[in-house]
Amino acid sequence: MLYLFVTVYENGISLVKSAVVGIKESENFKDLLKEALSNELFLEDKLVKVDLQCNDSSAWHLILNGLTENLRSIISIPDELSNEGSSAFNFMMTQQRLKKLYNSQFQVIKDIDDLIKIAQEYANYLQGVNNRMRTIHTSLVPVRNGRDDITVEDIEAVDLYPSQYEFLAQLLRESNDYDLLNIDHLLPSKPQNIYLFFQNICADVSFTLYRYYHGNYLGTLNFVWKIPSLDKCDKTKEAKNISAAYDQIPIYCTRQMRKNVINKYSLIVKASRSILQVLYQDLTGDV
């Protein structure tokens, strides 16, 4: 296959912008024009000139046999090689340079096309984020809550556990069954270590792990409570602990919810908006 840059002009007007056209080496200029013009061939009765670029130079070449001229021969033998005395070595080297030129140009086009696709995907992602944030800001319902953004997992007791869980195991041993315990103070300081901590969490007593994902810089709230065993869990007490943990979750209102409250009470209270915002936070618990 030959991959050629093709531009079609008529009376100085570009009919086809520069594009890479792939065609078999055995075909002729008529076939090339069909590919370039999407089979709308209307140049059969007109003089066709070809601009070949080789060794950083360009020249017009008449097609001696019209559109039936062999495509491979006209590309392989530019004017500078038609002179007497041109060696077979020069002919071979020029062919190699042409081949490298076409390959490099085709690769550039492919890389640009890939870059455009990546940029389009990123633009679509940003558009989706903007649409979601616009929906969040105008919503009258909190985006996150203590029902959809939690995980509850029962952990079975083990005989041996890593030393980093000793404080957790001791805390559980000294507590009563179903005592709600916050373990945020037991976590490592580095985020990557926190991830590993919960991946391998265990102790010598069975317990339930409750996690609430804030979805912002506050991270995650983490609670545990001791249970007799995995097959003897009291679902009523477990539900009570989940409710108690829910009461400790900070409240986050959307921008529209805050605006509605402040705008409403600014009509009856003569105070600056900053004071109303502080009062709003104190009364609602919204942080």
Task: Tell me what pLDDT residue 107 has.
Answer: 76
- Give domain status of residue 236, yes or no: yes
The pTM of this model reads 0.45
Residue 226's pLDDT is: 92
Of 282 and 77, more confident: 282
Tens of pLDDT, residue by residue over 21-79, are 777 766 777 777 777 776 555 555 555 666 655 544 555 666 656 666 666 665 554 44
What total of structural domains would you count in the chain? 3
Task: Give residue 166's domain range.
Answer: 150-247
Q: What percent of the chain has pLDDT over 70?
A: 63
Q: How many CA atoms lie within 13 A of 253 on its CB side?
A: 17
Tell me whether residue 274 is in a domain: yes
* Pair 29, 51 in one domain: yes
Q: Is the pLDDT of residue 17 over 80?
A: no
User: Do 237 and 278 share a domain, yes or no?
Assistant: no
Q: Is residue 128 part of a domain?
A: no
- Same domain membership, residue 272 and residue 194: no
Express each pLDDT in 160-200 by its tens digit. 999 999 999 999 999 999 999 999 889 988 888 888 899 88
Q: What is the mean pLDDT of the chain?
A: 75
- Judge if 92 and 8 occupy the same domain: yes
Do the domain assignments include residue 86?
yes
Lowest mean pLDDT among 39-53, 143-157, 247-261: 39-53
Residue 239 lies in a domain: yes
Residue 126 belongs to some domain of the structure: no
